[in-house]
């Protein structure tokens, strides 16, 4: 069989498909796979038809299946399977899924010859970092650049400079990965100055669409600040910038950064929060013994380079960047990054040094936690877990539905008397100790040090109730948020219900979109209360209706004296749709690209507005507002329906097109937590589309394809058998 030309051809095609589809990371799009497979098929045909003997050898197995009576079962099986496959393929093509349009852009376009920075003209071509001329203060500039980075850049680009900051998951395109040799290692410092100073809005038109959240930092940072940040980026990654050849020998670099940078450059960025949490485990004697191998003095050096900028020289949390690094109710996704990229020896050295901050706590050997025997999830276990949830009063903090809205939640403080929020149990991906059932049971058994979360091992009626409670917590939500990539708006007939709780809405498919804190302009939100919004959307012949759901642990208690305000949510659209994929700047547009806003507030209902910047918002007159909305709040969650005519006479409104993609973004304010103005959470732009009414093509074309293929098969088999009989006679 291995020598068979037919087998060889099939084997090559199968292996090629497996490689193109599953052997490349990231996976190639189907269009690329089809293109490459076409090339492979042509190559195979050229090979097997190189001479007449080879071609006959390839066709022989096919001919035998068609005419040999001994192969009749195989022939019948193929005659059934082949039409079914072709019919399924025809259906998949006729009912193809809607996909957002691709965005192709130049990542590193040619810079402008000169730029204007705060009224000063800077020649980008040939410009060098002026701070590098001050060799005596290079280390000082790098350290100051690190502080600026942590306060302004870390939330997107990450403490590891790997593009995995706590807000990075909410933005598209994703933040740059500075540790990637394909980014700053390829660029000159003047190029970075241009990109940082002008941000996404300053990207040249020939490189659009550039729909990045990256702001123009010249509004916040001085020229010297930007140069310091650039020095920090190169020092921390171990890369050196490309230099103008004439001055290459004149540019010094701080020697301390090279060895540290090599370690950073060698890191393998974590692929997901799950992989980060997998590193955590329970204490064991082997782990305790391994800790003793740490070198306290070596750990002090690592701490100074990696940790002190946030945690402070004394480990008291008073580092230069600490004021902006508010821990919410978790470690995953917070300002604390994964440090598994550090060599294991450095990590143990860090442990040894950190233990010196509170030596009395580490005199003894850590105890091994013995959890009771695990109880598998079941309906009975979940019912029992819910009983224990109420019996030991978890609901007082976490709320009746687990949405962090319990009556005690507003009064909670950590061991340092700082306000702290209970975990939202409907979002397990945010759990500080991890979201697996074992990790949840561990937190229930041990509590969470430094927080009001106590140990419940002695509070439950039986030790195994810890597992019942963990099973109940796991039942409150899926393991992952399953974020959507775009919003589909389905066509419906008849009146669309305005009631958010109507059964109609439970039948519509939800789309989850992540939100991140707004940290670009003052007031900045480093600790957003609302980090996800769920959207369902439909339209009829005359109106569009959008159903929004989001968790809000504080509800609405507007009281300016108490610094609480109305809860709000905004849907943002461009006023005009561009011919290409370009969109306004995501923070409420700019002077040349205004946005249209559908606004809802808990104390004012629905309104409409236009904006050209986050600080330049103009509400539309009440008599001109055609949108309507109904909002309901219960158990720490808002549900809202906003309806608006598809077309309006107002030129400042978006006119919703059918069958054409248009951008949409979301913003939210938890007024009860003090969020107002620019202190909010927001999303990137996403595409949305009002789907055209479905046709009957997906149900008509496949049967036709099956019938035609069956007829073709019968004709081919009959002709082959007739020819075979003729040759015998």
The total of structural domains in the chain comes to 5
Range of the domain at 325: 288-360
Same domain, 348 and 396: no
Q: What is the pLDDT of residue 274?
A: 32
Same domain, 686 and 715: no
Q: What is the CATH number of the domain that holds 622?
A: 2.60.40.1190
DSSP reduced 3-state for 43: helix
Residue 279, in any domain of the structure? no
Residues 119, 107 contacting (CB under 8 angstroms): no
Query: Which pTM was predicted?
Result: 0.79
Same domain, 342 and 396: no
Q: Could you say which of 431, 455, 475 is where a domain stops?
A: 475
Distance CA 524, CA 419 (A): 18
Q: What is the pLDDT of residue 250?
A: 46
Residues 671, 556 contacting (CB under 8 angstroms): yes
Residue 19, in any domain of the structure? yes
Same domain, 253 and 309: no
Q: What is the pLDDT of residue 193?
A: 94
pLDDT in tens, 547-601: 999 999 987 788 888 889 999 999 999 999 987 778 899 999 988 899 999 999 9
Residue 188, in any domain of the structure? yes
Same domain, 298 and 399: no
Same domain, 251 and 399: no
Q: What is the CATH number of the domain that holds 419?
A: 1.10.760.10
Distance CA 145, CA 151 (A): 10
Q: What is the pLDDT of residue 311?
A: 79
Same domain, 594 and 522: yes
Q: Could you say which of 449, 475, 501 is where a domain stops?
A: 475
Residue 466, in any domain of the structure? yes
Residues 566, 604 contacting (CB under 8 angstroms): yes
Q: What is the pLDDT of residue 660?
A: 92
Pairing of strands 637-645, 662-669: unpaired
C-alpha torsion sign, points 640, 641, 644, 646 = positive
Same domain, 548 and 421: no
Residue 65, in any domain of the structure? yes
Residue 109, in any domain of the structure? no
Same domain, 637 and 712: no
Q: What is the pLDDT of residue 96?
A: 66
Phi, psi of 300 (to 5 degrees): -60, -40
Q: Could you say which of 475, 507, 535 is where a domain stops?
A: 475
Q: How many alpha carbons fall within 13 Å on the CB side of residue 728?
A: 8
C-alpha torsion sign, points 95, 100, 105, 107 = negative
Same domain, 608 and 656: yes
Beta-strand (E) ranges in 344-440?
A: none
Q: What is the pLDDT of residue 16?
A: 92
Phi, psi of 115 (to 5 degrees): -135, 160
pLDDT in tens, 513-554: 999 999 988 899 988 999 999 999 999 999 999 999 999 998
- The stretches in the chain having pLDDT less than 70 are 1-2, 25-26, 96, 104, 206-207, 209, 244-293, 318-341, 728-729
CA dihedral 151→155→159→160, nearest 10 degrees, is: -140
Same domain, 584 and 669: yes
Residue 542, in any domain of the structure? yes
Tokens of 539: 């339209």
Same domain, 650 and 527: yes
Residue 98, in any domain of the structure? no
Residues 241, 188 contacting (CB under 8 angstroms): yes
Return the biggest CA–CA distance within the chain.
105
Distance CA 251, CA 189 (A): 11
């Amino acid at each position: 069989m291995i020598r068979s030309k037919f087998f060889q051809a099939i084997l090559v095609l199968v292996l090629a498909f497996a490689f193109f589809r599953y052997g490349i990371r990231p996976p190639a799009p189907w269009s690329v796979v089809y293109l490459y497979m076409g090339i492979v098929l042509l190559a195979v045909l050229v090979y097997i038809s190189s001479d007449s003997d080879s071609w006959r050898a390839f066709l022989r197995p096919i001919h035998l299946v068609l005419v040999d009576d001994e192969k009749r079962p195989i022939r019948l099986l193929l005659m059934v399977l082949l039409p079914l496959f072709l019919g399924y393929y025809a259906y998949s093509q006729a009912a193809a899924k809607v996909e957002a349009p691709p965005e192709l852009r130049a990542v590193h376009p040619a810079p402008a010859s000169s730029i204007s920075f705060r009224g000063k003209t800077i020649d980008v071509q040939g410009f060098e970092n002026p701070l590098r001329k001050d060799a005596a203060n290079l280390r000082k500039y790098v350290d100051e650049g690190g502080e600026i980075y942590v306060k302004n850049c870390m939330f997107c680009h990450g403490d590891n400079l790997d593009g995995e900051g706590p807000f990075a998951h909410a933005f598209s395109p994703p933040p740059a990965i500075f540790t990637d040799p394909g980014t700053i290692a390829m660029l000159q410092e003047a190029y970075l100055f241009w990109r940082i100073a002008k941000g996404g809005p300053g990207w040249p038109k020939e490189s659009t669409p550039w729909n990045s959240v990256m702001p123009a930092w010249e509004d916040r940072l001085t020229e010297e600040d930007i140069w310091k940040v650039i020095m920090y980026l190169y020092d921390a990654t171990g890369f050196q910038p490309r230099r103008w050849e004439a001055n290459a020998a004149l540019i010094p670099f701080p020697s301390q950064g090279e060895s540290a940078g090599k370690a950073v450059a060698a890191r393998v960025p974590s692929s997901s929060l799950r992989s980060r949490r997998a590193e955590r485990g329970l204490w064991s004697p082997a782990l305790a013994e391994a800790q003793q191998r740490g070198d306290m003095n070596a750990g002090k050096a690592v701490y100074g380079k990696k940790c002190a900028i946030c945690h402070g020289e004394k480990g008291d949390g008073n580092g230069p960047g600490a004021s902006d690094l508010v821990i919410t109710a978790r470690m995953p996704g917070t300002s604390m990054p994964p440090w598994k990229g550090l060599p294991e020896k450095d990590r143990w050295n860090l442990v040894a040094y950190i233990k010196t901050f509170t030596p009395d706590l580490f005199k003894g050997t850590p105890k091994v936690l013995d959890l009771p025997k695990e109880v598998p999830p079941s309906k009975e276990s979940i019912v029992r877990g819910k009983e224990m949830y109420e019996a030991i009063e978890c609901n007082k903090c976490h709320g009746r539905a687990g949405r962090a809205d319990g009556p005690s939640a507003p009064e909670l403080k950590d061991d340092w008397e700082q306000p702290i929020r209970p975990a939202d149990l409907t979002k397990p991906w945010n759990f500080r100790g991890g979201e697996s059932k074992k990790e949840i049971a561990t937190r229930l058994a041990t509590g969470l040090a430094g927080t009001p979360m106590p140990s419940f091992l002695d509070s439950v009626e039986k030790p195994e109730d810890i597992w019942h409670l963990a099973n109940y917590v796991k039942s409150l939500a899926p393991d992952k948020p399953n974020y959507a990539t775009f919003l589909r708006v389905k066509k419906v007939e008849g009146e669309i219900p305005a009631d958010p709780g109507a059964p109609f809405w439970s039948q519509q498919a939800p789309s989850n979109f992540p939100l991140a804190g707004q940290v670009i302009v003052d007031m900045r939100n480093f600790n957003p209360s609302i980090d996800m919004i769920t959207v369902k959307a439909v339209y009829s012949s005359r109106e569009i209706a959008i159903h929004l759901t989001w968790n809000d642990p504080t509800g609405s208690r507007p009281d300016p004296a108490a610094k609480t305000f109305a809860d709000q949510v905004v849907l943002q659209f461009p006023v005009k749709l561009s011919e290409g994929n370009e969109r306004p700047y995501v923070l409420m547009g700019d002077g040349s690209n205004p946005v249209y806003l559908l606004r809802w507030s808990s104390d004012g209902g629905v309104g409409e507005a236009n904006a050209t910047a986050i600080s330049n918002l103009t509400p539309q007159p009440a008599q001109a507002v055609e949108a309507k909305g109904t909002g309901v709040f219960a158990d720490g969650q808002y549900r809202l329906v906003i309806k608006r005519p598809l077309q309006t006479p107002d030129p400042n409104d978006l006119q919703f097109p059918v069958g054409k993609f248009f951008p949409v973004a979301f913003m939210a304010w938890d007024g009860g937590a003090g969020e107002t103005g620019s202190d909010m959470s927001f999303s990137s732009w996403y595409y949305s589309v009002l789907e055209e009414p479905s046709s009957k093509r997906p149900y008509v074309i496949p049967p036709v394809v099956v019938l035609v293929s069956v007829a073709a098969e019968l004709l081919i088999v009959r002709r082959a058998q007739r020819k075979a009989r003729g040759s015998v006679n």
